[in-house]
């Protein structure tokens, strides 16, 4: 069902999530900030699930019709950004404490996950072109 690339992406994104946890949990426990730790974990889980969902759909659609890569990629990227914005705004409106650490966590996790996705997607596209 899943291609070799998708399984490799799932493994890599899971390892990236554990790396964030290994850095974030001791950091927030050291500063004794339970609210920031809860916000950090919720943002991390959100990014993990959304990236797995969107990337698997992108790969499935590209494998079916590689000529429409750009259209599919732009559509999924815009949808993902809109969902991220909705998540960000809803979460910010419901927070009373820890807004700064939530925003910093969101930004750092977003950058890490986006960088990883771009790297994996470029490797996938190179493999398609060489076939």
**Per-residue pLDDT for the chain (131 aa), expressed as one digit of tens each?**
567 777 888 999 999 999 999 998 888 888 777 888 888 999 999 999 999 999 888 888 888 887 888 898 899 999 999 999 999 999 889 888 878 888 988 999 999 999 999 998 888 888 876 66
**What pLDDT does 3 receive?**
72
- At residue 1, the pLDDT reads 54
- pTM across the whole model: 0.86
> Does residue 34 contact residue 96 with C-beta atoms inside 8 Å?
no
- A 10 A CB-CB count for 77 gives 14
Residue 37 CB contacts under 8 Å (≥ 6 apart), including other chains: 24, 25, 28, 29
Secondary element (H or E) of residue 44: helix 34-64
The pLDDT of residue 131 is 60
> Could you tell me the two tokens for 125?
């596209």
């Amino acid at each position: 069902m899943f291609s070799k690339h998708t399984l490799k992406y799932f493994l890599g994104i899971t390892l990236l999530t554990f790396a964030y946890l290994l850095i974030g949990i001791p950091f927030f426990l050291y500063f004794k900030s339970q609210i920031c730790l809860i916000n950090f974990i919720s943002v991390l889980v959100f990014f993990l699930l959304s990236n797995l969902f969107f990337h698997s759909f992108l790969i499935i659609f590209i494998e079916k019709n590689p000529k429409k890569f750009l259209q599919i990629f732009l559509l999924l990227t815009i949808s993902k950004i809109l969902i991220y914005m909705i998540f960000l705004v809803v979460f910010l409106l419901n927070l009373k404490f820890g807004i700064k650490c939530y925003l910093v966590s969101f930004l750092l996790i977003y950058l890490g996950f986006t960088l990883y996705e771009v790297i994996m997607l470029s490797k996938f596209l190179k493999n398609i072109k060489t076939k």
